[in-house]
Chain A
Amino acid sequence: MRTYEGNVTMVLQVNGEEREVVVRPADTLLRVIREKIGLRGTKIGCENGDCGACTVHINGVAAKSCMVLAVEVEGDEITTIEGMTNEVLKEAFIAEGGFQCGYCTSGFLMNAAALLSAEPKPDGITDDELRVRLESNLCRCTGYEGIERAVKRAARGG
């Protein structure tokens, strides 16, 4: 059994790199990614699981990093926006106006990337499926129109 107390040194696997960090067990993964590892692309929007701006992948699965303690994911593969490699998706967001201010964008991209990588969809994604996935995140700028177009475009292969 592992026990962590006080300031503890641990290794996290982030974007394929081993990162040694000193954390408090109460530190959320979000705070550790941003403040200890210095990857600032993952955003703080609510720290309450409501907005999705802090979405990362844990072993390829989307998760809101404000609701995960860093100590919980020791040994797991963490991917942040800086390590996300779906270029087709990124370009689709640019081409289709999937963002304005850009603050929610990392989270939306990580969410959509998990969807697209988990299930290759030659026929595209159904509207229902898209809704179930993307309603996890909030965007205040776009009215979701550009995001919808972008993810559908990426699902078709760009």
Chain B
Amino acid sequence: MPPGSVKVREQKIVGTSVPRADGRDKVCGRVRYADDLWQPGMLFAALATSPHAHARIISIDTTGARTVRGVRGVFTGADFPGRIGIYLGDKTPLAVGKVRYFGEPVAAVVADSEAAAVEAAGRIAVSYQPLPALLSVLEAIAEDSPLLHENMDDYFHIPEIHPEPGSNIANRTKVRKGNVELGFREAASVIEGEFSFPPGDHGAMEPRVSIAEIGADGRVVIRSSTQAPFVVRELLSGPFGIPIGKIKVIAPRVGGGFGGKDGLQLEALAYLLSRGVGGRPVRVANSREQDLVSSPGRAGLFARVKLGARSDGKLTAAKMLLLYDSGAYADYAVHVSRAGGFSLPGPYFVPNIEADSLCVYTNRPFATAFRGFGHIEMTYAVERALDHLAQKLEMDPRQLRIVNAIRAGDTTGGNAVMDRNTGNLPACIDTVGRRLDWQDGTRIVLPNGRIRAKGISAFWKAPSMPTFTDAGAIITFNEDASVNLSTGIVEIGQGTHTGLAQIVAQRLAVDPSMVHVVNDIATDQAPHDWQTAASRSLFMAGRAAIAAVDDAVAQIKQIASGPLRCSEEDLEVSGGRVFQRDDPDHGLPLSQVVVHYVYPNGNAIGGPVIGRGKYAARGLTGIDKETGAGRPGLEWTMGSQGVEVEVDPRDGSYRILKAVCCMDVGKVINPALARGQIVGGMAMSIGYATSEEFRFDERGRVLNGSLRDYKLMRYGDHPEYVVDFVETPQGDGPYGARGLGEQGILGIPGALSAALSLAVGSQIDTLPLTPEAVWRAASGGSLR
């Protein structure tokens, strides 16, 4: 028996914490991110941005800027009047006619040096006529509200979203199921509440950057900090009339995405500026302040929720209004509001639902995709409402969630039946409860006057993506039979390249070190892939990679069957060899087969083995405009989270002692990386639950647009993280796996609000939960 072969075959690769493939380069500072890829002859761009949240542009004088030495071009909105947008074409790369948010790019300078560009941008004189700024979604949806986008009628939009011209509503997604009036009549208890939080930012450590150049033949090359190289290509091709095959987008590894590098970011402006200076390479790079304010962030929320339940806690009806504060432009937020709508009412079975989920324009910095994609908002509203209901029912909030947890056979808000792949939510909730010692009490007053309190929540999320989302994989072999895996998945820190290498290694029964994943994605080399978003990369590219291995194995068997003089059916590929199943000694090392096989007399057969794999989402549909009915979610990953806090009610200060998560992920491919994703999501949600928010003055100007003032969680404020998994296999997932990259962010804010509310004896329904907010609740509410 060939050494290693059987051993490798039995070896579990999937399910183990294989070290990250990119580890060594990252700890040596050797990874090249987009801003490390400066090109010869590159010029530098700098932007002039709006000091107003809403104003008419009267005039722009660029003469001062043009006198600065080294300036090669000065551009304003008039130079690039075309509107772009992924789902709703509502935005020009530079403002035309008016500015709609503080920090909106108004003009751009291209110069030989960054210093010259910045100096020149500072000399652009823009004359504004300030307009009243709409700063709240409630104001914005009022009947007589001024319009931010008067010409919404003219805007292109995809059929899946439903803008309402003549209003500030960029999308309305409706969910209608059963009969809510009847449902509320059946209810023993009904609660109503309003829940909200302000907009915020991704805060990826790498600010966005794009470098564009145009060849003499019109070929456009863009190097960019992007999660979505194929989407960038598509969104540039149409509006600017460039044949899609003549656009090459290169996505090196990304310094954190979290949704902020989905879709089209700085790439369009970089392309236009390069075009404006004759195709020379132009770098557009955000300063941190621009990355926070000028580029899009996370939507804000206002929600109104009414829930009814029987006395045993069973929900009978839900009526909800979700208002997503999209800021000045819709970008991804139209779809974010749609996803929040179709995932209502969260991972619970509710027979009667009437809900509207709206994407609303305001004069705030605009919103795009953000880890959780609409579910952060939806989950916060639902989980807070459930806690209000539990209080009214005098029921254990953990039990209330278990009673209502969605199970196989139940229907979603969109009336889709949950299949046998449905995760085990009650087990997750139960585990979180045990990890928090729930049974020992949820509110304990300590001798020093501080209060320990616990809160729990549940969540779910499926990928929010087009029904036709695809992934491809190509494997080729090197002379030593090591494998090159090429996919369209960008490594943004999530570790998917390592997970994919594990899947290939498992399927081919070789050591993971024999699998090399192509790191930097180029759209003219990688197989097509939708984008690295929606927690679907490992699922879909994993399926494609398995198919690619199977394709390669079939080719290997076919080639080897000649020299081994046996039928392909008798052959097996494992441990770096192809051999006869019933006589493993009779075989060949793959290195003799995968490039070509050479007979002793010099004759050759075969040629390079190229494994092809592909996958397209299965069985997805759109949703009905009037009822939300449909099956938009590929696979629902659900789970539960909880926290324990220690609060000082005298001043509202608190510490999160423990943050717990249990998620049904189907199958854990790499435990360390999976835990890392979940812990990272929890940390990010602790950030926006406790501290992160944009603050505005009365005119809509952002007051805290730097990392000095916009506070991300730092080392030492992190709690003890507890992460558990439940593995109810996803039948169609690779090795049974479901996506898990986003879900860790969803449940903490609700759980934290619950714990702090319990501690101070007053419901807190607004984020962020600053000590001041907790102190106010403690002094305002009646302490139990």
A2, CB-defined interface residue at 8 Å: no
Partner of B19, one of A82, A95, A102: A95
Q: Is the CB of A140 within 8 A of B712?
A: yes
A106, CB-defined interface residue at 8 Å: yes
- Which residues 13-56 of A sit at the B interface, judged by CB distance below 8 A? 24, 26, 39-51, 53
Partner of A94, one of B19, B202, B203, B679: B19
B155, CB-defined interface residue at 8 Å: no
A69, CB-defined interface residue at 8 Å: no
Q: Is the CB of B254 within 8 A of A46?
A: no
- Chain A residue with Cβ nearest B285: A44
Q: Is the CB of B255 within 8 A of A103?
A: yes
Query: How many residues on A have C-beta within 8 angstroms of the other chain's C-beta atoms?
Result: 50
- Chain B residue with Cβ nearest A134: B715
Q: Is the CB of A140 within 8 A of B682?
A: no
Q: Is the CB of B205 within 8 A of A94?
A: no
Q: Is the CB of B676 within 8 A of A142?
A: yes
B159, CB-defined interface residue at 8 Å: no
Q: Is the CB of A43 within 8 A of B206?
A: yes
Q: Is the CB of A146 within 8 A of B288?
A: no
- Chain A residue with Cβ nearest B710: A50
Known contacts A50-B707, A140-B204, A143-B679; is-contact A42 B29 (Cβ 8 Å): yes
Bin chain B's interface residue count.
35 or more
Q: Is the CB of B27 within 8 A of A109?
A: yes
Q: Is the CB of A90 within 8 A of B28?
A: yes
Q: Is the CB of A144 within 8 A of B29?
A: no
Interface of B is mostly: loop
Most buried by A among B29, B206, B679, B682: B29
Q: Is the CB of B26 within 8 A of A99?
A: yes
Most buried by A among B25, B33, B206: B206
- Which residues 264-299 of B sit at the A interface, judged by CB distance below 8 A? 287-288
Could you say which residues of chain A place their CB within 8 Å of the CB of B684? 140, 143
B637, CB-defined interface residue at 8 Å: no
Q: Is the CB of B716 within 8 A of A45?
A: no
Q: Is the CB of A140 within 8 A of B256?
A: yes
Partner of B716, one of A44, A131, A140: A131
Known contacts A95-B19, A135-B714, A143-B679; is-contact A106 B29 (Cβ 8 Å): yes
Could you say which residues of chain B place their CB within 8 Å of the CB of A131? 715-716
Q: Is the CB of A100 within 8 A of B29?
A: no
Q: Is the CB of A53 within 8 A of B679?
A: no
Could you say which residues of chain B place their CB within 8 Å of the CB of A130? 715-716
Q: Is the CB of B708 within 8 A of A45?
A: no
Q: In the docked arrangement, what's the CA distance between A49 and B36, Å?
A: 21
B388, CB-defined interface residue at 8 Å: no
Q: Is the CB of B676 within 8 A of A144?
A: no
Besides the known contacts A45-B206, A48-B708, 18 further A-B residue pairs in the complex with CB atoms under 8 A apart: A45-B205, A48-B288, A82-B30, A93-B23, A94-B19, A94-B24, A94-B27, A99-B26, A101-B493, A102-B25, A103-B256, A105-B29, A131-B716, A140-B204, A141-B256, A142-B676, A143-B718, A143-B721
Task: List residues of B whose CB falls within 8 A of some A CB.
Answer: 19-20, 22-33, 35-36, 115, 202-207, 253-258, 287-288, 492-495, 672-673, 675-677, 679-680, 682-684, 686, 706-708, 712-716, 718, 721
Some 7 contacts from A to B, beta carbons below 8 A apart, are A26-B115, A42-B29, A46-B706, A82-B30, A135-B715, A143-B679, A143-B718
6 tightest Cβ-Cβ pairs between the two chains A and B? A41-B29, A101-B493, A143-B683, A103-B255, A81-B29, A102-B26
